[in-house]
Copies of this chain bind each other. A is one copy, B any other.
Amino acid sequence: MIIVGEKINTSRRIIREAVENRDANFIIKVAQDQAQAGANYIDVNAGTFVDKEIENLCWLVETVQSSLDYPLCLDSPNPTALAEAMKLHKGEPMINSISMEEDRLGPLLPVVTSGPCQIIALCMGQASMPITVEERVDVGAQLIQKLTGEGVPIEKIFVDPLIQPISVDTNMGIAALGAIRKIIDDFPGVNTICGLSNISFGLPERHIINRNFLALAMSYGLSGAIMDPTDIKLTSTLLSIEMLLGRDEYCEKFIDAYQEKRISG
């Protein structure tokens, strides 16, 4: 599993204040904790600053990479912000995200093909949010074809089926899960990724629902998750599922995590 640590997002007040105050030490600490907990990429998102998003996103990239030799996941709906952040980024970033929306696809294609990067391809159509498995797979397929057509290796594409709340429509879980399975069946080598928390929007005990959704999505073939790697219960689920699916030889990673007190139920 590829884990994208989601904690550096200015929609969280503690992060927004740290960005406003240019509290580099705090941001670095949040990045380090996630790296240590097993994140493969550290997400940086300054989307709540409408006018200053570009400036703040660039500050986050430079701040985190000033002390941590680690790849980041550059997270914005704004193609210009992603282009600027990508210029500053050292190494191969992940881009979060491209979609079939017109104002995003056109400007982003030259950016994501300007250098090596991993690309999250969000199953958001030109006009509307997908509802069914088929609508998700349709948008995902279009994005895969666009990107591979531009020379992007399929292994660098992470299709995000777009998670919507089951409280709004009980079928939203199986629609996303079905899309994950169909996309990896139809496009061997492609990766899939998603965030976990939208699924439980509007329901109580969201953490329980989120981690059970992770378990299900992994069993349907999910290869990446945008999540909090410092959440011990979520990590316990992730490591249990990896082990139960036969991907943890001699149960070594699970037992190591237990001994390091990174497993708890």
Binding site for B on A (CB under 8 A): 166-167, 170-171, 173-174, 177, 199, 203-205, 207-209, 211-213, 215-216, 219-220, 233, 236-237, 240-241, 243-246, 248-251, 254-255, 258, 263-265
Which residues of chain B have C-beta atoms less than 8 A from A246's C-beta? Answer: 166, 170-171, 173-174
Specify the chain B residue showing the minimal Cβ separation from A243: B166
A241 with B255, Cβ < 8 A, contacts A170-B248, A173-B246 known: no
Which residues of chain B have C-beta atoms less than 8 A from A204's C-beta? Answer: 255, 258, 263
State whether B174 touches A240 (Cβ < 8 A): no
Q: A213 to B211, alpha carbons, bound, how many Å?
A: 13
Q: A68 to B244, alpha carbons, bound, how many Å?
A: 37
Which residues of chain B have C-beta atoms less than 8 A from A245's C-beta? Answer: 173-174, 177, 216
Known interface pairs A208-B240, A215-B219, A216-B241; 10 further A-B residue pairs with C-beta atoms within 8 A, sorted by A's residue number? A170-B243, A170-B246, A171-B246, A173-B245, A204-B263, A208-B237, A209-B244, A209-B254, A212-B237, A215-B216
A199 with B244, Cβ < 8 A, contacts A215-B215, A251-B166 known: yes
Which residues of chain B have C-beta atoms less than 8 A from A212's C-beta? Answer: 215, 237, 240-241, 244
Q: A170 to B199, alpha carbons, bound, how many Å?
A: 31
CB distance from A18 to the nearest CB of B (A): 29
Which residues of chain B have C-beta atoms less than 8 A from A209's C-beta? Answer: 240, 243-244, 254
23 contacts between A and B (CB under 8 A): A170-B243, A170-B250, A171-B246, A173-B245, A177-B219, A203-B251, A203-B254, A203-B255, A205-B236, A205-B258, A205-B263, A205-B265, A207-B265, A208-B237, A208-B240, A208-B263, A209-B244, A213-B240, A215-B241, A216-B241, A216-B244, A219-B220, A233-B265
CB distance from A127 to the nearest CB of B (A): 26
The 5 closest A-B pairs by CB, nearest first: A208-B265, A212-B240, A173-B244, A215-B215, A219-B219
CB distance from A171 to the nearest CB of B (A): 5
Which residues of chain B have C-beta atoms less than 8 A from A233's C-beta? Answer: 265
Q: A199 to B237, alpha carbons, bound, how many Å?
A: 15
Which residues of chain B have C-beta atoms less than 8 A from A251's C-beta? Answer: 166-167, 170, 203
CB distance from A107 to the nearest CB of B (A): 36
Q: A265 to B233, alpha carbons, bound, how many Å?
A: 9
Q: A263 to B174, alpha carbons, bound, how many Å?
A: 22
Q: A254 to B205, alpha carbons, bound, how many Å?
A: 10
State whether A244 touches B208 (Cβ < 8 A): no
State whether A166 touches B244 (Cβ < 8 A): yes
